[in-house]
Amino acid sequence: MPNTDTAGPGPGDRAPVRTATPRRLLMCRPSHFDVHYSINPWMHPEKPVDAGLALAQWTRLRDLYRELGHTVEEIDPLPGLPDMVFAANGATVIDGKVLGARFRHAERTAEGPAYLSWFRAQGFTELLWPEHINEGEGDYLLAGRRLLAGTGFRTDPRSHAEAQEFFGVPVTGLTLVDPEFYHLDTALAVLSDDEVMYYPEAFTPGSRAVLRELFPDAVLATAEDAAVFGLNAFSDGRHVLLPESATHLTGELRRRGFEPIGVDLTELLKAGGSVKCCTLELRGR
Ligand code: ARG
């Protein structure tokens, strides 16, 4: 079958035609964004943050989602919670069920209940306040009907069983080893129901073997890709929004028929976050 996708690779190349599906997303405007504590190696409170630039970069990402046909809802940012912009950490939502987030660090604990009350106010009825620490979609990434679950730095491995019981989908635990890649979404991104890209060095040997077994054709990131947070990406099945400096990944994605869109979120990277961290997917039934 000829490849009629104009954004795809040239003639003769057999990359699949990619189809985007519209998503419902939750974001939190970085009105109170700052770096005045350090809970990951990217955060240097002595380095100044340009609040105006952070807001402009974030706004561009939000508008881009809307231009691509996605629905973006916003939760009101709360003063005193500078990391609340990282909406991915606020919960995990599958089939309309909401697993609340329970943060590892005291600096962020108030975000969990804040996000959960947003869901309650929006009419979500199946909500679980978790027993174990989990940082939402920072460590929980859905690939098809399998929930990939990070641990090692933030999410407690006991949360994986709690998530499996609550959502009723198989949960696959993956252990992170490099403090620079402290959440699963800094080391792995889901591209489609059965495709991912990841940085092997961020995982234990056992978890790497699991990833190889589940995703033998995965896009593997280089150290350079990972260092610019290239894996902190969002895919709608066709468009992949990722940090613009992840040039090797961008080429790889294009070769496979995806349409990579580079985004500049360097101001938010000062807190250790980028595209995916700013984005929580609200999956209905
Ligand atoms: N400063 C935040 C923290 O360390 C950044 C969170 C980034 N979010 C993410 N989904 N990786 O918790």
Q: Does the model's pTM come out above 0.85?
A: yes
- Alpha helices, DSSP H, located in the chain: 51-67, 111-121, 157-167, 205-214, 223-227, 247-255, 266-269
Nearest CA to ligand 1 atom 1: 271
Whether the predicted pLDDT of 1 surpasses 50:
no
Closest CA to 132 of 164, 110, 155: 155
Query: What Rg, from alpha-carbon coordinates, does the chain have?
Result: 18
Query: Which amino acid makes up residue 171?
Result: V
Taking the C-alpha atoms of residue 176 and residue 165, their distance in angstroms, rounded to an integer, is 23
Taking the C-alpha atoms of residue 36 and residue 23, their distance in angstroms, rounded to an integer, is 33
Residue with tokens 């609040």: 51
Tens-digit pLDDT profile for residues 34-86: 999 999 999 999 999 999 999 999 999 999 999 999 999 999 999 999 999 99
Ligand 1 center from residue 15 Cα (angstroms): 34
- Can you tell me whether residue 196 is helix, strand or coil? strand
Burial (0-12, 13-18, 19+ Cβ within 10 Å), 247: middle
Residue with tokens 């809970």: 39
pLDDT confidence tier of residue 285, bands split at 50, 70 and 90? confident
pLDDT confidence tier of residue 14, bands split at 50, 70 and 90? confident
Tens-digit pLDDT profile for residues 134-187: 999 999 999 999 999 999 999 999 999 999 999 999 999 999 999 999 999 999
Of the residues 70, 160, 183, 239, only one is catalytic, namely 183
Taking the C-alpha atoms of residue 183 and residue 179, their distance in angstroms, rounded to an integer, is 9
Q: Which residues line ligand 1 (CB under 6 A)?
A: 39-40, 43, 83, 86, 88-89, 108, 138, 183, 185-186, 271-273, 277
In the chain the domains, ranked by start, together with CATH numbers, are 24-281 (3.75.10.10)
Q: Please state the length of the chain.
A: 285
CB burial of 232-244 (b: ≥16 within 10 Å; e: otherwise) equals bbbbbbbbbbbbb
Ligand 1 atom nearest to CA at 277: 10
- Can you tell me whether residue 214 is helix, strand or coil? helix
Ligand 1 atom nearest to CA at 276: 10
Nearest CA to ligand 1 atom 7: 273
Of the residues 70, 160, 277, 278, only one is catalytic, namely 277
Taking the C-alpha atoms of residue 62 and residue 72, their distance in angstroms, rounded to an integer, is 7
Q: Give, for ligand 1, the residue of 183, 190, 265 to mutate: max count of ligand atoms closer than 8 Å to Cβ.
A: 183
pLDDT for the residue numbered 13: 61
Q: Catalytic annotation on 277?
A: yes
Q: Are 27 and 74 in contact (CB under 8 A)?
A: yes
